[in-house]
Amino acid sequence: MGEANSSVTRVWPVFDTLFAYDPTGARWLDSLLRMAPGFRETQPGPLLPSLSRFDRKLPRNFALVLDDRSSQLARLRSCFEVDYPPPERFLRWLIEHPGSLTWPLESKKTPRKFGGKTEASRHALIAGDTATHDLAVLALEKSGTSGSRGKWWAFEGFTSVDCVLETDSLLVFIEGKRTEPISAATDWYPQRNQIVRNVEVASCAAAEARKNFGVILCAEEPVPVLEQDFIEGLPHLSQPDRDALRTHYWGCITWNQIVSALCPGLRLRVISKRQSGYVSD
């Protein structure tokens, strides 16, 4: 998995290089944003100082991917692997429409097992039990999305954003891909893809912070994200609301575009167990 992991082989080396070059982003942020086909002119301003600091612990799932190399990456810059809670409207819609849920399957195509109470409550909700539905709604209202992690009634988890670029007026989510496709982002509702999910999550975070926002996909080759993806991935929103959100998906930039224009000394390659993810000339 480490050989092809997009965070390890692309997101971290590219954006670490950019932050090392200029942690304020003054020398590269505007240029990067203008590469995105859907970007509309704005003055982003300097990046928040906290983003460039090595304050984030290496997530456990990446430690497993990196094996013996994890000791060399004890800390990440705070811009990487940032968690955001799911949108309240989507969580509520899933509770209100249990017939739209798809029970997740294991690798052998058998239904995934959960803890006793969690599994029983989910089966009851899907079966249309009114009392269970009311308990789920009340729990969501009491805990809010920030308290939804691991709860039986939360059918979408927290979103881990590959890289966050934030200024006093702008929030940008970077979704990094290498060879892997854009996948279903929510086990219980597989029609929702990663980009659509990221756009809605970004909209919630930006609204709370009163900032403009955008989502950019970075990949080896341009990857289409279609209007149909937004229709299928945002069933709880009206068409005008979907259209408005879609304008905040700013499109795909290739890794080669970024490196050629902004990181000319960087040579990207697939890592092996004895290699780092990048080399700087």
Q: By the 8 A CB rule, do 106 and 119 touch?
A: no
What is the per-residue pLDDT for 61?
Answer: 61
Q: How far apart are CA 70 and CA 72, in angstroms?
A: 5
Q: What is the pTM of this model?
A: 0.90
What is the per-residue pLDDT for 42?
Answer: 81
**Residues of the chain with confidence (pLDDT) below 70:** 1-4, 60-74, 269-281
Q: Which residues of 124-138 are buried (b: 16+ CB within 10 A; e: fewer)?
A: bbeeeeeebbebbee
What is the per-residue pLDDT for 277?
Answer: 42
What is the per-residue pLDDT for 7?
Answer: 87
Q: What are the residue boundaries of the structural domains of the chain, listed by start?
A: 6-86+158-280, 88-147
**Residue where the block lists tokens 């290739």:** 254
Q: How far apart are CA 272 and CA 76, in angstroms?
A: 20
What is the per-residue pLDDT for 278?
Answer: 41
What is the per-residue pLDDT for 274?
Answer: 41
Task: Output the DSSP codes for the chain.
Answer: -TTT-HIIIIIHHHHHHHHHH-TT-TTTHHHHHHHSTT-------PBPGGGGS--EEPPHHHHHHHGGGGGG-SEE-TTEEEEEPPPHHHHHHHHH-GGG----B-TTSPBPP--HHHHHHHHHHHTT-HHHHHHHHHHHHHHTGGG-TT-TT-SS--EEEEEEEEBSSEEEEEEE-SSSPP-B--TT-TT-BHHHHHHHHHHHHHHHHT-EEEEEEEESS-----HHHHHHH-TTS-HHHHHHHHTTEEEEEEHHHHHHHH-TTEEE----TTS-SEEE-
Q: How far apart are CA 168 and CA 98, in angstroms?
A: 39
Q: How far apart are CA 86 and CA 153, in angstroms?
A: 12
- In this structure, are strands 170-176 and 212-219 parallel, antiparallel, or unpaired? parallel
